[in-house]
Amino acid sequence: MSMREECKQYESRSYANGETVRKCNLDLAPEAPWRCPENCSKFELRLVDVDWSHGSLIAPPVPPEPKGEAIAEVLDEAEDIVNAIGPQILAELEAEQKKANRPLGRLKRRFGRS
């Protein structure tokens, strides 16, 4: 089943560089942005859109669905990229937190200096 855009948990976001993210906010669609699971137990019809005014921007079409096992391969490659960069990101965050938690770091942060 394709992604259910009418589901309360579906989110689509476009960025200035042209990238569009389509996902399930509950992370229940392992093959997003192409498919939702059949008979998803968390599917809820989105009711909030009823009276909204939508802008004139149109989201780009969903990328073509890879054939066969290619979906799993694409998602595995993306996961490998995220896992490879993860330790570096954590190290950078820890360094920033240590710097911010020093006595002068808190004062500098309070007065807008780095």
5 & 47 share domain: yes
Q: Are residues 2 and 52 in the same domain?
A: yes
Sign of CA dihedral 90, 92, 96, 98: positive
Quote the domain boundaries for residue 72. 66-114
User: What 3-state DSSP class applies to 21?
Assistant: strand
Per-residue pLDDT of the chain (114 residues; tens, 9 = 90+): 678 888 888 888 888 887 888 888 898 888 877 788 888 888 888 876 656 666 666 666 777 777 777 887 888 888 899 899 999 999 999 998 888 777 766 666 667 665
> End of a domain among 41, 65, 89?
65
Whether 21 and 44 share a structural domain: yes
What Rg value do the Cα atoms of the chain yield, rounded?
20
Same domain, 70 and 23: no
Same domain? For 92 and 58 the reply is no
pTM: 0.50
Nearest-angstrom CA–CA distance, 42 and 78: 25
